[in-house]
Structure 1
Amino acid sequence: MMKTPFVTKAQIEEIVKTYPTPFHIYDEKGIRENARKLKQAFAWNKGYKEYFAVKATPNPTILKILKEEGCGTDCSSYTELLMSEKMGITGSDIMFSSNDTPAEEFVLAKKLGANINLDDYTHVQFLKDTCGVPETVFCRYNPGGTFSISTTIMDNPGDAKYGMTKEQLFKAYTELRDAGAKKFGLHSFLASNTVTNDYYPTLAKILFEVAVELKEKTGIKLSYINLSGGVGIPYTPDKEGNDILKIGEGVHKVFDEVLVPAGLGDISLFTELGRFMLAPYGHLVTKAIHEKHIYKEYIGVDACAVNLMRPAMYGAYHHITVLGKENAPCDHTYDVTGSLCENNDKFAIDRKLPKIDMGDYLVIHDTGAHGFAMGYNYNGKLKSAELLLCEDGSIKQIRRAETPEDYFATLDGFWDVEV
């Protein structure tokens, strides 16, 4: 099974004349088409909105594209709030979902008019003391235990640091109402990167039932329910991806079964997708620069875990295409490695690939989310450029590569030291 890159060898050979490898490149056409399909899936819900998870791909150009497609932003930090503001995304177009939140972040979120999503019951008083309670406020729910679909356990909310118990949740809403809040939202995130059309409908049923119970016990009617993220992508080529239209239909069915009869049919639904929105529409492009023949066969590339941390961090699979050899037999077994002084700096282990020659360009797939964003500077390595393959086929640099001057910029007086 194969994945097809959205760039060709000829395109990359032209691009590297201006922008040397490694770099991340994003597909504008794919991003826009996917955003429109998501919007179509939830068009039945009058107030539906997608809040793109900025942490997945924190690039202003990406935010601008998604803004044009009707998306807001899901921010989790001060700098993400600033980036949203700079791109003209403010007010209720921002969802501020944070945890262990510093006071200044709540202050900025309130100043921007963002939807503030409280992670813990104690944050109610913290918010009061910090900047006051806004008219619209969200609370995050953690049902505890394990979360499963059929017999497959997807995640373990009971071990997660996020959200409130139901008892705390109801208490928080009551206190927020007493403090002047007028509109309320409910948020929850129970599983990461699910590849099943059942996740959102299952989560929705849990949250919808909480909404009904909240109304019955406190008289508080929710205005919004945020299904958060968790809808993922198939990283391996043998898996079938999610069908967002079927997912939307599944949520619609539960909405009609649970909320409508309870008089809550006017609740607006929100999502906070990152991986689903961007991952398949980003590639890390790197060049084979070394080969090593010892106890195993190694191919060394000019990218490393600094450019894509997921394989090193938790053994994540990312498909690899050797450009120009898409139809060649995968009759060689390689570890594809970067140059960090860590043995886990491997993009692939025992991977069947075509014969790789020095100078070949490799496309590492599905890096459009949690790729560049998780970069760091270990070993003094520098972050790569980010490029956009525009809809008209042109290439635009949307973030330049770091330089040594960037790396040393926070060291006061570094360049003034005499040796």
Structure 2
Amino acid sequence: MAKKNFPLTAEKLEEIIKKYPTPFHIYDERAIRLNIRRLFKAFDWAPGFREYYAVKAAPNPRLLQILRQEGAGADCSSLPELILADKAGITGESIMLTSNDTPADEFQKAIELGAIINLDDISHIEYLEKNAGLPKVISFRYNPGPVIEGNDIIGKPEEAKYGLTKEQLFAAYKIMKEKGLKRFGLHTMVISNELHDGAFIATAEMMFKLAVELKEKLGIAMEFINLGGGIGIPYRPEEKEVNIEAVSQGIKKAYEKILIPAGLVQTQIAFESGRAITGPYGYLVATVLHEKKTYKDYIGLDASMANLMRPGMYGAYHHMTVVGKENEPCTCTYDVTGSLCENCDKFAINRKLPPISIGDKVIIYDTGAHGHSMGFNYNGKLRSAELLIKTDGTVELIRRAETIDDYFATLTGFSGSIMDK
């Protein structure tokens, strides 16, 4: 069983909390850099390998700047995400807009930035051309339906709202070719938080065969094949991480077996990983406010589902430790909760932990993706700060905590500080 470690000492954490009160998310820059370097090294055999970091996982421009410095682009799915990528210095075809019921202004911004546009439906062709014009590079998202299995998070492909059927896919590329486009890519996303190495290799084989068929039938040579994200992380200590080197070698064999004989010798491989890049290197730090004993024993934190939605939304497991008690025996069973008026506002149910006291600090692990980004303001809860442990060990505030004035700022009929009323 792998041990999960927090990158700061208890003493250093207390210093930080004096300046930045809990709850907050904190990220480890050094670990993130080493992690993405590992991905690029694993695929150094692939011509022009690309990683479009999924901005939705952790939409903070400071994190995007770090990833850009390491060679990553940005996978965007909204206008603010496109702007975030641009502000972080990610430009042109290093940006991909993956369409999903997309409004005109998002297409317009993507065209303005020179981004690659990845369409989700054949009907979007006319809408895109009418409202924004056509890009230099076009891609379509393939939904294989029952040909391949999804997983618990993303569901069965045939029940997903995303992507084109195979018949639609061929028709869409034919339309774009007739409109004069000369540069094409291919995309899919059929699994999420997957830990089995073989799933990624099977997806690659499916997409490589599809690319060969498109070339043979339509005369289109794919410039890149985006295999999506979906690389999972071991949220539970007993789980094993994806062997990215083994995945790479399996994809390489498929590339050499399927694409090269078909003359697709320079086709680029791309991923749009988010969770796998930053997920393990973010932590939610919270303080114990209350202990309640009724039919169960409850520990109440100053954080809530508004700070980390995954456990309440998916029943997802996030490991947690109590600062200073990491090596004590876990002799107590708790539900660890927040203060929302929802019974699903729980970080853990029936979790074995050491005895906890009011004021203890709790570390919730693997919140570096789909953690802060999924926050919300239900019950008037305010989004927390985000901090960065820089490579030199200093800590940087990369997003301040929301204030009550922020909460009321979008309302009409108020002026000045609401706290002065």
TM-score by length of 2: 0.97
Distance 1:154 1:383, change over 3 A: closer
Q: What is the CA-CA distance between 1:85 and the residue it aligns to?
A: 1.1
Q: State the one-letter code of the partner of 1:336.
A: V
Distance in 1, Cα, partners of 2:239 & 2:148: 22
Q: What is the CA-CA distance between 1:3 and the residue it aligns to?
A: 1.8
Residue 374 (structure 2) aligns with: 374
Please give the per-residue CA displacement for 1:114-154, whole angstroms capped at 9, x wherever unaligned.
000000011111111112222211111001016349x9998
Residue 271 (structure 1) aligns with: 271
Contact 2:153-2:192 at 8 Å conserved across structures: no
1:238 aligns with 2:238: yes
Q: What is the CA-CA distance between 1:11 and the residue it aligns to?
A: 1.8
Residue 410 (structure 1) aligns with: 410
- 1:88-127 matched pairs, under 5 angstroms: 88-127=89-128
- 1:1-400 matched pairs, under 5 angstroms: 1=1, 2-145=3-146, 147-148=148-149, 155-400=155-400
Q: State the one-letter code of the partner of 2:126.
A: Q
The range that moved more, 7-16 or 336-345, is: 7-16
Please give the per-residue CA displacement for 1:217-241, whole angstroms capped at 9, x wherever unaligned.
1111111100110111111111111
Distance in 2, Cα, partners of 1:349 & 1:70: 40
Equivalent position SS for 1:414: coil
Contact 1:133-1:176 at 8 Å conserved across structures: no
Equivalent position SS for 2:138: strand
Please give the per-residue CA displacement for 1:343-396, whole angstroms capped at 9, x wherever unaligned.
110000000001111111110000000000000000101000000011111000
Distance in 1, Cα, partners of 2:318 & 2:226: 29
Q: State the one-letter code of the partner of 2:96.
A: M
Gaps of 5+ in 1: none
When the two chains are superposed, the root-mean-square deviation of aligned CA atoms in Å is 1.7
Contact 1:146-1:153 at 8 Å conserved across structures: no
Q: State the one-letter code of the partner of 1:330.
A: C
Distance 1:153 1:228, change over 3 A: closer
Distance in 2, Cα, partners of 1:336 & 1:8: 23
Q: State the one-letter code of the partner of 2:104.
A: A
Runs of 4+ in 1 over 6 A off after TM superposition: 151-154, 416-419
* Number of aligned residue pairs: 418
The range that moved more, 228-237 or 152-161, is: 152-161
Q: State the one-letter code of the partner of 1:379.
A: N
The range that moved more, 56-65 or 211-220, is: 211-220
Q: What is the CA-CA distance between 1:8 and the residue it aligns to?
A: 2.5
Equivalent position SS for 1:162: coil
Distance 1:152 1:335, change over 3 A: closer
Q: State the one-letter code of the partner of 2:90.
A: I
Q: What is the CA-CA distance between 1:173 and the residue it aligns to?
A: 0.6
Q: State the one-letter code of the partner of 1:44.
A: W
Distance in 2, Cα, partners of 1:200 & 1:10: 42
Distance 1:71 1:413, change over 3 A: same
Q: What is the CA-CA distance between 1:246 and the residue it aligns to?
A: 1.1
Contact 2:149-2:157 at 8 Å conserved across structures: no
Distance in 2, Cα, partners of 1:285 & 1:332: 21
Distance in 1, Cα, partners of 2:295 & 2:153: 38
Q: State the one-letter code of the partner of 1:304.
A: S
Q: State the one-letter code of the partner of 1:81.
A: L
Distance in 1, Cα, partners of 2:344 & 2:352: 18
Please give the per-residue CA displacement for 1:230-263, whole angstroms capped at 9, x wherever unaligned.
1111111111111111111111111001101111
Q: State the one-letter code of the partner of 2:325.
A: K
Distance in 2, Cα, partners of 1:101 & 1:152: 25
Please give the per-residue CA displacement for 1:274-309, whole angstroms capped at 9, x wherever unaligned.
000111000000011110111111111100000001
Equivalent position SS for 2:342: coil
Q: What is the CA-CA distance between 1:7 and the residue it aligns to?
A: 2.3
Contact 1:5-1:321 at 8 Å conserved across structures: no
Please give the per-residue CA displacement for 1:86-141, whole angstroms capped at 9, x wherever unaligned.
11211001011021000111011011000000000111111111122222111110
Distance in 2, Cα, partners of 1:134 & 1:415: 44
Distance in 2, Cα, partners of 1:101 & 1:155: 22
Distance in 2, Cα, partners of 1:265 & 1:69: 26
Distance in 2, Cα, partners of 1:165 & 1:400: 44
Gaps of 5+ in 2: none
